[in-house]
Each structure stands twice: as C-alpha cells, then as structure tokens.
Amino acid sequence: MDPDSPGSSTAEPADGPEAGPVPDEVLTRRAALGDKAAFAELMGRLGPGLYRYLLRLLDDRGDADDCVQETLLAAWKGLPGFRGESSVRTWLFVLGRHEAQAVLRRRARVPASGSVPVVDVHEAAADLRDLRADPEGDTISVELLAALDASLLLLPERQRSVWILREVEDLSYAEIAEVVQTTPAAVRGLLQRARTTIATTLEDWR
Amino acid sequence: MTEDSTPTPGRERSTRRGSTRAAEATLLLRQHTDAGWTAIEGTVIARALAAFRPSAPVRGRHDLGDFLVASDVVVARLREAVDAVRGGAAQRITCSTGERDELEQVTIQLVAAYGPPLLDLADAVHVVALACLQELLGTLAPTGEQVRVHVHIGDVSDDPRVVS
C-alpha cells in the first residue's frame, strides 16, 4: 500500500516507535479471532475512507451513517470467513458498496415527492471543514471541496465509485474492478470519463 | 460545411484550469476527514462489536452442571492464550464438535518468529491451549485423548509487529 494514501496505517505503534504500526493484515487476523481492540483499531484506520466514499455515493449523511454501521456490522460478523484474497480495505469497500446499493435501490422504488430535502447549513459546513490553520485558505478549501462534491453528483454511480476509489482512496484498477464488479479495462474507461466530467465542471470554478 | 474541431488557446487554457482545480480538489479530499465519521466513529464500532457472531455451541461442564459456550468465545480465549506465548501468534483457529456439542478437535495455525526452534514453540502453544480449554470447559475440556490440539506452523516472520 502506498504509505501516503489516506487508508494507510497511521495509528500509534504497538511495539514501540521503532517497530512502526501493526500492519492491517495482522489486525485483521486478530480481529477475525475475536480481538475487539484489533477490530476497533482497524476500523479507526479504514473508517474515514469508507465514510468518505459512502457519503459521496449516497449524498445523504443519515444514509451514510446507517450504511457505515451496516458495513461495520457485516465486517465484524464476516471476518472469521475472510480469507485474505484481497486486502481488508478492498473487502470493506465491497461490503460498503453492497450496502449503499441496497439504499439506492430502495430510493429508486420510492417515487420522488418533488420536495427539497432539508439541509442544515452548519452541518454541511462542518462536513466540509478542512482542519487547517489558515482561515482564508480554509474557506477556499471548503468551497473547492464543495465544488468537487457537486461535480461528483453529476457522475453515474459506477463512475463516481471508480473515481473516488482510484483518485482518493488509491486502490489499484484490479481492486476497483473487484469493488464495482467489472474488469480493470472497464475501470480505466469509467475513470477517464469521470475525470473528464470533473475537470470540465471545475473549469468555471472561480 | 464542417466545424473546425481544433482547440483554441482559450479552450486549452480552460481545460488546463479545470484539470488543475480537479487535482487540487482531489488532494484536499484525500486529506479530508468528514465530520460525520468523527461524530459516529465510537458508536458504530461499539455497536458492531456488540453484535453476536453466529457460531456453533461448545459444551462445558462445571460443578453445577453442563453449559454451552459459543465456539467464537473459545476461539477468542485461545487466541489470547496463544498470542501470549513468546515467538508465536495465532493465525487461524478452528474447533470441531461432536453430536453432543462436545469439543472434539482444535486446530491452531501459527505464525512463528524467525529463529527460535519451532518444535519448542509448538509444544508451548499446545500446553497453553490445553490449559485454556480446561479453564473454559471444565471437566469436558481436553484431557490428552479427549480433544486433540493440532498445532500447525503456517508462516514464519521476522517482523516484530507480526509476532510478539
């Protein structure tokens, strides 16, 4: 895994600073054998990326919260059967997307009422907060992130998934193909289309 | 009449601007942790951990009679005991039970530290596993022939983070 990627291990080392953090695979093995502390540490590492992905897939904080809960439940219950054929991170995204698709299917069955969903402005601002010191830079960052989120909403679900998993979560084409159930070649095409749409949308951002 | 598709300098500048902003925004998103996650992290992890992992029952016996314990609990206790043995860590633990849910076989697959003798490690794990099962299952716990504890060395590692 790329050490600079967002899902990389960043927790405090368990065996002293010189030893480095316990690898995800070791925590996964321990969690599969019932070690709750290992599961909590693993989810502490992988949770932010999972939430980032699901929130942008569902565009609804309540649904994202529920989806993350269901994904973690499925992960805890499913870990004893996890064979390690993919990384635990990829497996978690597979579980997460599965849960998100169930939400999206339910939404599709409910006809749109035409009403505008209530959005809490403060909550939305907090969601977009980038914890940096410079207030001016902070504002620009928040706005740019909001513009990116808006452009992501223009993408069909699979393109959005592929773009986030590649550009933000740094998964390989093969890993993404596993998550979105397609081939690495198809991932390449989906990614290209998504990149074009996002770049075009952001052209006019101030 | 055909339209000229050659990009104009203005169009090229605009495309470049879009790509640059997309790259900046991507970088921001990579560093961003949603407040939503921070707010629910503790709760969702705790709720997941409170969930019951379906697993077969294992029969134990103490002074007041028989009781059943989930094999998941047996596995968790064995892992703790095995991981406490220096130079080894549990990689996979499986339990097999008979018709009356009595534990018939336990298989412990290990990761071993590079260097120390593997047979000594296997013996030490065997001893602590039997003691752990005895404590957990009382008189129905293994006494030599009753339950066979198989220890397999599945991997050898020189990484101190993998094997304590």
The pLDDT, as a whole number, for residue B81 is 95
Interface pTM (ipTM) of the complex? Answer: 0.82
What's the first-to-final CA gap in chain B, in angstroms?
Answer: 76
Q: Are residues B38 and B101 in the same domain?
A: no
Query: Of A84 and B42, which is predicted with more confidence?
Result: B42
Find the closest chain A residue to B80 by CA distance.
A35
Nearest Cα of chain B lies from the Cα of A106 at a distance, in angstroms, of: 22
Best CA proximity match to A45, nearest among B41, B51, B90, B44: B41
**Domain for residue B1, yes or no?**
no
The pLDDT, as a whole number, for residue A112 is 55
Q: Are residues B120 and B138 in the same domain?
A: yes
Query: Which residues of chain B neighbour A8 with C-beta distances below 8 Å?
Result: none
Best CA proximity match to A156, nearest among A198, A126, A118, A119: A198
Contact, A171 vs A165, CB < 8 A? yes
Query: Of B127 and A6, which is predicted with more confidence?
Result: B127
Nearest Cα of chain B lies from the Cα of A112 at a distance, in angstroms, of: 25
CB pairs under 8 A between A and B: 155
Query: Of B112 and B141, which is predicted with more confidence?
Result: B112
Nearest Cα of chain B lies from the Cα of A2 at a distance, in angstroms, of: 13
Give percent of chain A above pLDDT 90: 66
Residue that finishes a domain, picked among A111, A127, A142: A111
Task: Provide the number of structural domains found in chain A.
Answer: 2
**Domain for residue B42, yes or no?**
yes
In B32-162, alpha helices (H): 35-50, 71-83, 118-137
Query: Which residues of chain A neighbour B107 with C-beta distances below 8 Å?
Result: none
- In this structure, what DSSP letter does residue B143 have? -
Contact, B79 vs B93, CB < 8 A? yes
Q: Are residues B146 and B70 in the same domain?
A: yes
The pLDDT, as a whole number, for residue B11 is 74
The pLDDT, as a whole number, for residue A185 is 97
Query: Which residues of chain B neighbour A33 with C-beta distances below 8 Å?
Result: 75-76, 78-79, 90, 92-93
Which amino acid, one-letter code, is at A18? E
The C-alpha atoms of residue A63 and residue B64 are separated, in whole angstroms, by 48
- The answer on pLDDT for B145 being more than 70 is no
Q: Are residues A96 and A160 in the same domain?
A: no
* A18 exposure class (CB count in 10 Å sphere: 0-12, 13-18, 19+): exposed
Report the CATH number that the domain containing residue B105 is assigned in CATH: 3.30.70.1350
Residues B4-49 have pLDDT tens digits of 556 677 777 777 888 888 999 999 999 888 899 999 999 999 999 9
**Domain for residue A11, yes or no?**
no
Residues B75-89 have pLDDT tens digits of 999 999 999 999 899
The token duo for B97 is: 């039970």
Question: What residues make up the domain containing B77?
Answer: 57-157
Residue that finishes a domain, picked among A111, A144, A161: A111
Mean pLDDT of B95-118: 88
**Domain for residue B63, yes or no?**
yes
Does the CB of B35 have a partner CB in chain A at under 8 Å? yes
C-alpha distance from residue B58 to each of A18, A98, A115, B105, B125 (Å) = 42, 33, 55, 11, 21
**CA B144, B146, B149: angle at the middle one, nearest 5?**
65
Residue A193 CB neighbours (<10 A): 15
* A96 exposure class (CB count in 10 Å sphere: 0-12, 13-18, 19+): buried
Does the CB of B94 have a partner CB in chain A at under 8 Å? no
Pairwise CB contact (< 8 Å): B34 & A73: no
Mean pLDDT of A3-15: 43
Report the CATH number that the domain containing residue A161 is assigned in CATH: 1.10.10.10
Question: What residues make up the domain containing A51?
Answer: 18-111
The two most distant CA atoms of chain A are separated, in Å, by 58
